[in-house]
Amino acid sequence: MYWDVVEVKPEPGYCLFVRFKDGLAGRVRLSREELTGALAPLADEQFFEQVLIDCGAVAWPGEIDLAPDAMYAQIASRRDGAQRAVRPRIAQGAAQRRRSTKEKAG
């Protein structure tokens, strides 16, 4: 998909620099207040810096990942001059995406 993440870098203040497959790039800032439930481990800045890419999604160890389509929409809306922020949401787990892909292929 065009919103597959190809580059991610952690930045101070719970911010991520993200580049997508189609070349769109920008920053996504998570607020500390949003880091609850499944996202609670991300409140630890050292853990937050362990960000990686898994199956085109921004992810962390422990099967924590964010929906790349929501991040794409947030960055694209800023590029278009819109000021609204899209709250990042949890993506379908990367492990579950891998299983779905294998099931479709097999």
Interval 19-47: pLDDT, tens: 999 999 999 999 999 899 999 999 999 99
| pLDDT tier, 106 (very low <50, low <70, confident <90, very high otherwise) | low
Name the β-bridge partners of 58. 53
Domains of the chain in start order, with CATH, are 5-105 (3.30.2020)
Q: Is the predicted pLDDT of residue 100 greater than 90, yes or no?
A: no
- pLDDT for 79 equals 75
Q: pLDDT at residue 54 above 70?
A: yes
Q: Is the pLDDT of residue 2 over 90?
A: no
Both tokens assigned to 100: 């779905």
Closest CA to 59 of 39, 74, 34, 31: 39
Q: Minimum mean pLDDT among 7-11, 65-69, 86-90: which range?
A: 86-90
| Extended strands (E) in the chain | 5-11, 15-20, 25-29, 52-54, 57-60, 64-65
